[in-house]
């Protein structure tokens, strides 16, 4: 079924609205972590830099997810084109790899604090990345809805 651009844009913007609160919550937890005593005591300097990189990845995801709303408001709130729908879909899809990487880094760091083993932490982070890859990238290519 082929949707008209207006309906397609409604669906895409709704998807962006669904994703954004999760991104904002994750970013908030990342900010709070830095101010806890354990952050400096239990994470090495390299791990703290990894956390900073994960924050940057979340910020990139937030920017990509929020861009369609800004474009729509500034370019023509009463107009919806197929080009806008394609760009919105691409921006939303582009936000997913950086979100996945940020989550994997944070999972690594949390596991490192709890378990204290780099090997276990790396294994859990890799398993998390594999799960997201399977669900977000492989499954959509193999399942026809």
pLDDT in tens, the chain (145 residues): 567 777 777 777 788 778 888 888 888 888 888 888 888 888 899 999 999 999 999 999 999 988 887 877 776 666 777 888 888 889 989 999 999 999 999 999 999 999 989 999 999 999 999 999 999 999 988 987 6
Nearest by Cα to 102 from 58, 143, 38:
58
Report the C-alpha gap between 123 and 30 in whole angstroms.
Answer: 21
Residue 1 DSSP label: -
Residue-range definition of the domain harbouring residue 46: 5-142
Within 10 angstroms of residue 30's Cβ, the number of other Cβ atoms is 21
The pLDDT score that the predictor gives to residue 76 is 65
Query: How many domains is the chain partitioned into structurally?
Result: 1
The pLDDT score that the predictor gives to residue 134 is 96
The pLDDT score that the predictor gives to residue 81 is 76
Residue 30 in tokens: 């990342």
Say what percent of the chain tops pLDDT 70: 94
Report angle CA 104, 107, 113 to the nearest 5 degrees.
Answer: 145
């936000």: which residue's tokens?
95
pTM: 0.84
């Amino acid at each position: 079924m082929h949707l008209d651009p207006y309906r397609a844009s409604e669906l895409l913007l709704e998807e962006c609205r669904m994703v954004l609160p999760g991104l904002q919550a994750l970013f908030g937890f990342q900010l709070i972590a830095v101010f806890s005593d354990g952050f400096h005591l239990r994470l090495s300097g390299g791990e703290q830099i990894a956390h900073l990189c994960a924050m940057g990845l979340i910020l990139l995801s937030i920017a990509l997810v929020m861009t369609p709303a800004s474009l729509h408001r500034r370019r023509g709130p009463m107009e919806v084109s197929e080009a806008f729908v394609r760009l919105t879909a691409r921006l939303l899809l582009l936000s997913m790899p950086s979100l996945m990487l940020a989550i994997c880094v944070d999972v690594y760091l949390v596991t490192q604090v709890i378990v204290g083993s780099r090997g276990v932490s790396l294994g859990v982070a890799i398993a998390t990345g594999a799960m997201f890859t399977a669900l977000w990238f492989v499954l959509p290519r193999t399942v026809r809805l």
